[in-house]
Amino acid sequence: MSFLYTDRIRKEFGGVIAVADVDFSVEKGIICGLIGPNGAGKTTLFNLITGLEVADEGFVFFKGEDITNLPPYKITRTGIARTFQNIRLFKEMTVMENIMIGRHFRSSCNFFPQNRLLNSILCFFNIKKEERDIYEGANKWLSFFELEKYKNELAKNLPYGKQKILEIARSMATEPEILFLDEPAAGMNPAEKAELANVIKKLNEFGVTIVVIEHDMKFVMGLCEKITVLNYGRKIAEGTPKEIQNNPVVIEAYLGKEDERSLTKN
């Protein structure tokens, strides 16, 4: 059984079928790409997996458990994290605070786990330890992503590229086993993209499974071991980068029948 997989998952908006009976699977430890023309349903699929959309039909399984339609906070707690296409940082909070929020459920104080209410009251009187744990946990990721110099800067004041990195840092602070990145390279210049690719590889080496939605083909092909292609809500192809590049159905989906060259170029 795959690490994470969807089973005939389906989502409709009004009359439009955004995701149609998709069987999407991710093996543990790989870097996997999800591509497709605009409107293919990639982000919707992410949303269905991470609980931000409710599936009309079908299932999502993670580590053998059914996580279909769980509320987002529960899904995150099972070890799934994600970033957003349009960056959703906590703008009026500092970089450090943003990452610290990622530590929220990982560092809960547990004087008395048997009773949540009693626990909260006891913890109320000893916040320092909890805050220290959170701070140190967040600091680790702050350093990993080399954001130290922005530590006390408000998130909204960061340069765009750093904001994208911050979002990833924040997600990693939740210590996920699988990370979904929605167009992490969008708006970055080639140098930043190369850096991002390295960061993703490093994370993968630490054992994080990664799923990336991207439009930059060079980026995706260079990074991912497996690529799934969606079009009009359906899975039209799946395989290694080489296979996908040469798949006529994929080429047609992107470009129409005439021009076959572009998929292999950037």
136 binds another protein (CB under 8 A): yes
Closest separation in Å from C-beta 198 to another protein:
21
130 binds another protein (CB under 8 A): yes
Instruction: Decide whether 113 or 222 has the Cβ nearer to another protein.
Output: 113
Q: How far is CA 120 from CA 21, 110, 126, 127, 137, in A?
A: 43, 9, 10, 10, 21
Instruction: Decide whether 151 or 215 has the Cβ nearer to another protein.
Output: 151
Distance of alpha carbon 179 from alpha carbon 215, whole angstroms: 18
100 binds another protein (CB under 8 A): yes
88 binds another protein (CB under 8 A): yes
Instruction: Decide whether 136 or 243 has the Cβ nearer to another protein.
Output: 136
146 binds another protein (CB under 8 A): no
Distance of alpha carbon 183 from alpha carbon 42, whole angstroms: 10
Distance of alpha carbon 255 from alpha carbon 251, whole angstroms: 6
77 binds another protein (CB under 8 A): yes
Closest separation in Å from C-beta 173 to another protein:
8
Q: Which stretch binds another protein (CB under 8 A): 1-9, 66-74, 190-198, 212-220?
A: 66-74
Phi, psi values for residue 216, rounded to 5°: -80, 105
Instruction: Decide whether 84 or 219 has the Cβ nearer to another protein.
Output: 84
Which of 72, 94, 68, 83 is CA-nearest to residue 9? Answer: 68
200 binds another protein (CB under 8 A): no
111 binds another protein (CB under 8 A): no
Closest separation in Å from C-beta 145 to another protein:
14
Distance of alpha carbon 5 from alpha carbon 61, whole angstroms: 5
Phi, psi values for residue 123, rounded to 5°: -65, -30
Site string for another protein, 207-246 (x = CB under 8 A): ----------------------------------------
108 binds another protein (CB under 8 A): yes
The only residue of 72, 186, 236, 239 in contact with another protein, by rule CB under 8 A: 72
Which residues bind to another protein, rule: CB under 8 A?
14, 43, 47, 50-53, 71-73, 76-77, 81-82, 84-85, 88-94, 96-97, 100-102, 104-108, 124, 127-128, 130-132, 134-136, 139, 148-149, 152, 170-171, 174
